[in-house]
Amino acid sequence: MSDPGGWRVPEGYAGGTGAHQWGLAVPPGYEPAYLVPRPPRPRVVDLAITLTYTGVVVTAIGLVVGLVQTWQTRQSISGVTVTTPVSPSVDQAATVAGIAIAVLVTWLLPAAGAVITAVLTRRGANAARIVLVCLMGLFALVGLCSIGGRVAGTWLGNQGTTDLPGVNLSGPLTLVGLVLDVVAFGLAVTIGVLLLVPPANRWFNPGPGRRFVDGMTQVPSTHDRP
């Protein structure tokens, strides 16, 4: 077989009985990655997944508390700050739309993202673990801001600095919401740490020059071949 245009098979690529086998040979010095079995899933990963589901429930309760508090506040200040009369149907539709948007943006989408990434993380997807850790960092930041807002509201309520009648910024719902925010913040930080500790990292990342295979049989690389 001739080589058109003067092209030749590179030196060292020949294998088998002749140069026509060069396409089946590995380049000189090429070493494939070690294929190693994935170790058993560590307990820290199982705990992180369980805490993720717990956090979804805690934030759902916190959302309900926040909506109830917002509704009570709205009922208290209705007619005080609104100077233009609004029909009850329009007012009710606006309230329902606001609640729906709040539930969708502040809880449903983040909770769905956390659950989906938690399921994929439990299956060993390293990309899902990274996304879940990033989500936990975002949730921790949002929770910290919420804690600060509730603490400021409680302080203002105790100081009596609000002039709105019927608005209690330091009431029981505020304290319940504050406790739930602290719990959610602690869960987010704990989950992020558990997914980054060395046992979890070894389960998700086989190490340089290695890849996971299914099963428990180790496939050696060319280093182990005679």
- Which pLDDT score, from 0 to 100, does residue 139 have? 94
Q: What are the pLDDT digits (tens) for 161-177?
A: 554 444 455 568 788 88
Q: What are the phi and psi torsion angles at 213 (to 5°)?
A: -125, 160
pLDDT of 167 reads 47
Residue 192 and residue 140 in contact, taking contact as beta carbons nearer than 8 Å: yes
Per-residue pLDDT tens digits for 86-132: 555 655 666 677 777 877 788 899 999 999 999 999 999 999 999 99
Report how far residue 49's alpha carbon sits from residue 39's, in angstroms, rounded to the nearest whole number: 18
Q: Is the dihedral of CA 21, 22, 27, 29 positive or negative?
A: positive
Of 104, 122, 106, whose CA–CA distance to 52 is shortest? 122
Q: Read off the pTM.
A: 0.71
Question: pLDDT per residue over 172-191, tens digit each?
Answer: 878 888 899 999 999 999 99
